[in-house]
Amino acid sequence: MPVTSFLLLSVSAACAAMAALVWRRRSAPGGIALMCFLACVAVWNAGYGLEIAAGGLARKMFWAKAEYPGVYLLPVAFFAFAVEHSGRRAWGQAGRLATLAIVPCAIILLAWTNESHHLIWVDIEAFQPRGRVLQLGHGAVFYFGALYAYGLILAASVTLLSGRASHRRFYRRQSIVVLIAIGTPWIANVLYLLGIPDTGFDLTTIAFAITATAVSLGCMRWGLLDVVPIARDAVVEHMSDGMVVLDLRGRVVDCNAAVQPLLRCPVEDAVGRDAGEVLPPLDVDVIRTSDGTRVFEVEDIDLTGRAAAAGRLLLFHDVTAREALQAHLAADALTDELTGLGNRRYFMERLQWALDAGSRSDDALAVLYLDLDGFKPINDTYGHACGDEVLIATARRLERCVRPGDALARLGGDEFAILIPRLDDRDDAGHVADRIALALAEPVLVDRGAVLATASVGVHVQPIAQATPESLLRGADRGMYAAKRRTVAGV
């Protein structure tokens, strides 16, 4: 067997093996088209190799006709791979591809019936020795078919190149593979048209084998089928929301600059890596940056059936301002506007929390309820502005009387409450009440002089297991009124 035939048959076998490998990834965008492309290259090389190895006109003509399905269906398969891989699925619909295959199928039929019309081959030499390519001329339909095939290959080449605009490092590797795949057949065909080599051997078949090899290696090494570039434009890079596209294997296909605060690596290094390596855990609805300064809400969109690359689209909406506003509103809802202390709602939540936390213990807690004595006359005599100053001054003095962990709140008007959630000694609550009475015995300086606003303090201590918010407040309130009856500043 001639060396050339052996080479072509070896290439054919390799392409057939790669087609079998791609069959395992046929669900990926462009997978079936690439498999058909490899099969066409295998048929073309096998037919060409057997044509050269055969002796005699009849045998050479048979193998020349046998390779034609590979020769003319190859451009259709290459075009189908290009449009699917670049995200233009509308062009890769079965009906359109079937329409594109009409001309190649007609030429294949004409090749097998050439003896009756000579539209494909003319001037066929009778002597056709073994080891040489078939010596003949070409008819008008052959050139029409060649132009049609060149048109499809050119369209496929432009389509593939147009999808390679991304600057990502991972895509640059894929781009090298694609450029090799596209450029090699064109170079080989130019050499053939220039009569190189002078034996008439068509290098195009070997060139397409190189194309098939480059694409197949790209599939295995750089995920050419799995990591498919999504069509993107300037809008993506200028999105305020972070965007990450994952393929079916959970690898990052694309991302924009806005997602950088969440990435564990530079944006340009994220593409092609597993999402778990570059992103924080995605099993939550809200993600915070590592320094806690920004908050993102995660939107997970299934791309199956929506885009050329089945996978997931992750959108990260920056909700830092919203979270801050909500926290501010929540704080306002629990804060007394005048004094800055907690309000009644805050106090009741802290009280319930303390009861829940100690429900299984034998500890006791205390509630102190205090009311300013003579506050109404101060309002009536000096005005409400002066009354507000007294309330604010009282709040500051009370803050100095409570311990860390205690809860202090203004319940409304001139009424305040203190929660001591854990008592080391039952007398601790009385000591706090004594400090309060002494602190409030000092006059308060206001614009119109000094006013005295003492307080009556009620103390109620109860085991946590037996207490309820209502019983604690009710007991402290009764103690406060009892103190008012005993003395002007009583406890």
Domains of the chain plus CATH, in order, are: 3-222 (1.20.1070.10), 234-319 (3.30.450.20), 334-486 (3.30.70.270)
Question: 307 exposed, middle or buried (CB, 10 Å; 0-12, 13-18, 19+)?
Answer: middle
Q: Which residues contact 315 (CB under 8 A, 6 or more apart)?
A: 241, 242, 243, 298, 299, 301
Q: How far apart are CA 43 and CA 80, in angstroms?
A: 18
Please state, in angstroms and rounded to a whole number, the distance separating the CA atoms of residues 459 and 308. Answer: 72
pLDDT in tens, 446-482: 877 788 888 999 999 998 888 899 999 999 999 999 9
Mean pLDDT, the chain, integer? 83
452: left (phi over 0), alpha (psi -120 to 50) or beta: beta
Q: What are 318-360's pLDDT values in tens digits?
A: 888 888 877 777 777 888 989 999 999 999 999 998 888 876 6
Radius of gyration of the chain measured on its C-alpha atoms: 42
Q: What is the pLDDT of residues 4-34, one digit of tens each?
A: 899 889 989 988 988 888 887 777 667 788 8
C-alpha to C-alpha distance for 355 and 465, rounded to whole angstroms: 8
pLDDT 10s digits, 52-77:
999 899 999 999 999 999 999 999 99
Distances (CA, A) of 148 to 71, 120, 121, 154: 12, 14, 17, 10
Q: What pLDDT, on the 0 to 100 scale, is given for residue 37?
A: 87
8: Cα separation from own chain's centroid: 45
Structure tokens belonging to residue 35: 């498999």
**Six token digits for residue 220:** 């295995």
- In 3-state terms, what secondary structure has residue 275? helix
Q: Which of 39-53, 92-106, 282-296 comes out lowest in average pLDDT?
A: 282-296
pTM for the predicted model, two decimal places: 0.50
CA-closest candidate to residue 418, choices 426, 32, 8, 410: 410
The candidate with the shortest Cα–Cα distance to 72, out of 156, 183, 18, 150, is 150
